[in-house]
Amino acid sequence: MNALDIPQADAVLLHAAEDLRYLLTHGYPRAASLTLVGNRYNLNAAGRHILHRGVFGPTEAEARKEKLLPPDRIKGRILAVDGHNVVITLESALTGITLIWADDGLVRDIAGVRGGHTLTPVTEQAVSLLAEAIYSLQPAEILAYFDAPISHSGLLAAMTQEQLARLGIDNTAMAVKTPDDEIAARKDAVAATSDSHLADRVTHLFDLAAHIIFTRLKPRSLIRLFT
């Protein structure tokens, strides 16, 4: 999907994003810059979170974009899925929570889920979409890691493993203490995530949630902060 097909944020957020981008480009600290810009434009918590999730300095953004692989480069490779990251982003898309197409080319939600994720029918729908998309991408193997400290992570891993296995996809889905470490250690795999910190640790990226949103859903809640 072309970026121009995605609506821009409102004018206030766009101007705030420009100011934040300027500060980051000139080496100002990220946290202080977010506070400064948020205060200048009198942004509420949601607006500040959108900037935090969507705006990055050009060096950081370009480094991640260079790692992004298109869908046709996934066939025959090992795909290491950042489970909660992908599922929660899809849940946000399905329920209309705001999504941001960020400066670094990745799609992020603003759901803010930390330790209390609940399994719902929307979760089942998200996992089903994940499995169907993976089936069409034809990776050689799937490794799906879920964050064990988050509620019901073991059940979510089992649900994912079952859905993938039902489609005949070789997979390992499990809840682990630190999924980022597990994924970053797999140098032979493509990391399916939009998490900033993990994206900076891996060699190859694939935004699986964005791929599903663009190809299988109507991204009615997706905005962009760039022109």
Q: How far apart are CA 53 and CA 9, in angstroms?
A: 13
**pTM of the entire structure?**
0.93
182-205 CB burial, b ≥16 within 10 A, e <16? bbbebeebbbbbbbbebbeebebb
Residue 218 has pLDDT above 90, yes or no: no
Looking at residue 212, what is its pLDDT?
A: 97
Q: What average pLDDT does this structure show over 169-198?
A: 96
Q: Assign 105 a pLDDT band (cuts: 50, 70, 90).
A: very high
Q: How far apart are CA 207 and CA 123, in angstroms?
A: 18
Report the range of poorest mean pLDDT among 42-51, 106-115, 149-158.
106-115
Q: What average pLDDT does this structure show over 82-103?
A: 95
Measured in Å, how far apart are the chain's first and last C-alpha atoms?
Answer: 15
Residue 72 has pLDDT above 70, yes or no: yes
Higher pLDDT pick, 5 / 59: 59
- The tens digit of pLDDT for each residue in 10-30 reads 899 999 999 999 999 999 999
Q: What average pLDDT does this structure show over 140-146?
A: 97
**Phi/psi of residue 56, nearest 5 degrees:** -140, 155
With a CB cutoff of 8 Å and minimum separation 6, the contacts of 191 are 80, 82, 183, 184, 198, 199, 202, 204, 205, 206
Q: Assign 113 a pLDDT band (cuts: 50, 70, 90).
A: low
The DSSP line for 26-48 is: TT--HHHHHHHHHHHTT--HHHH
Q: What average pLDDT does this structure show over 112-127?
A: 87
Looking at residue 227, what is its pLDDT?
A: 77
Residue 3 has pLDDT above 80, yes or no: no
Burial of 83 (0-12, 13-18, 19+ CB in 10 A): buried
Q: Assign 115 a pLDDT band (cuts: 50, 70, 90).
A: low
Looking at residue 4, what is its pLDDT?
A: 54
- The tens digit of pLDDT for each residue in 26-46 reads 999 999 999 999 999 999 999
For the chain, which residues make up each domain, given as ranges? 3-224
Higher pLDDT pick, 47 / 7: 47
